[in-house]
């Protein structure tokens, strides 16, 4: 498992990001490439030094995400009459920086396919799928889930991370049978249930509407909203659902005098 995690951490993406190298009291604007959780490559008119501890700021293209962290220069290359290339390894990152870095990587991988998932054969076994998922950064899997096509969605349903399943719930091409498979999962994020409940495709499907309401992960206000206006026979069936919120079950029993 440690080998898989190491390969996952070293996954790099070619998309460039605006960057600033802070060294010697000066700010050098440049571009960041090959971003990973361990480091990146800076390219631009920057000092061709090696070894010292520096700081680097990375921004999203829209400038709505930004992270500044310490890093160590491990490699310096200067092209003749061209830009300088610096290889950087991040120093210890705190939780906030890691979270922002994940978000930046997610932006970088938009539109980039996972080689590990693409290489899976059509008859791949669950263990092979899980290994390929482990080799793909979580941020990539989340970004992919939102836009995944049928084959990719089938693979991503094997993902143990609920953030990926939440991404699938937001996929505009999700099919009713995939929603049913999702609702068979014992635990989902509350925000996932809210997403499903808001979708007119599922809210307008009586079967799926009640299945969402009866899931144990559905917040009480969401379940109550879905159950507004149901008749007595529907309520009788609904209160038998083991995952139904107990407060809502009590309300339905009182409302219909069961």
> What pLDDT digit, counting tens, does each position of 27-41 carry?
999 999 888 888 999
Domain shared by 119 and 139, yes or no: yes
- Please give the mean pLDDT across all residues of the chain: 87
Number of H helices, E strands in the chain: 14, 6
Cα 189–Cα 145–Cα 166 angle in degrees, nearest 5? 10
**Residue 250: inside a domain:** yes
Q: How many whole angstroms separate alpha carbon 65 and alpha carbon 186?
A: 34
If one counts the domains in the chain, the total is 3
Whether 174 has a pLDDT exceeding 90, the answer reads yes
The answer to pTM > 0.85 is no
Would you say 100 and 87 are in contact if contact means Cβ atoms under 8 Å apart?
no
> What pLDDT digit, counting tens, does each position of 88-143 carry?
999 988 888 888 888 887 766 655 556 678 889 989 999 999 999 988 888 788 88
- CA 101 to chain CA centroid, Å, is 12
Domain shared by 160 and 236, yes or no: no
Domain shared by 136 and 165, yes or no: yes
Exposure b/e, 95-115, CB count within 10 A at least 16 = b: eebeebbbbbbbbbbeeeebe
Domain shared by 188 and 258, yes or no: yes
Q: Which domain holds residue 170?
A: 113-174
Q: How many whole angstroms separate alpha carbon 71 and alpha carbon 91?
A: 5
Domain shared by 85 and 161, yes or no: no
């Amino acid at each position: 498992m440690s080998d898989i995690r190491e390969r996952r951490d070293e996954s790099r993406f070619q998309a460039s990001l605006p960057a600033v190298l802070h060294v010697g009291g000066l700010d050098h604007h440049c571009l960041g490439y090959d971003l990973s959780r361990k480091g990146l490559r800076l390219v631009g008119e920057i000092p061709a030094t090696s070894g010292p501890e520096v700081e680097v700021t990375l921004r999203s293209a829209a400038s709505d995400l930004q992270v500044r962290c310490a890093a160590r220069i491990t490699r310096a290359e200067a092209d003749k009459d061209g830009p300088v290339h610096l290889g950087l390894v991040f120093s210890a990152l705190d939780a906030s920086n890691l979270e922002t870095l994940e978000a930046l990587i997610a932006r970088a991988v938009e539109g980039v396919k996972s080689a590990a998932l693409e290489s899976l054969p059509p008859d791949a076994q669950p263990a092979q799928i899980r290994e390929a998922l482990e080799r793909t950064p979580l941020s990539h899997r989340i970004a992919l889930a939102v836009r995944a096509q049928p084959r990719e969605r089938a693979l991503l349903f094997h993902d143990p991370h609920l953030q990926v399943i939440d991404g699938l719930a937001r996929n505009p091409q999700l099919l009713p049978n995939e929603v049913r498979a999702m609702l068979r999962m014992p635990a989902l994020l509350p925000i996932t249930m809210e997403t499903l409940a808001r979708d007119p495709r599922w809210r307008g499907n009586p079967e799926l509407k009640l299945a969402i309401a009866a899931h144990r992960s559905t917040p009480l206000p969401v379940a109550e909203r879905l159950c507004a206006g149901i008749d007595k026979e529907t309520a009788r069936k609904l209160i038998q659902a083991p995952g139904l919120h107990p407060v809502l079950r009590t309300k339905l029993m009182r409302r219909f005098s069961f």
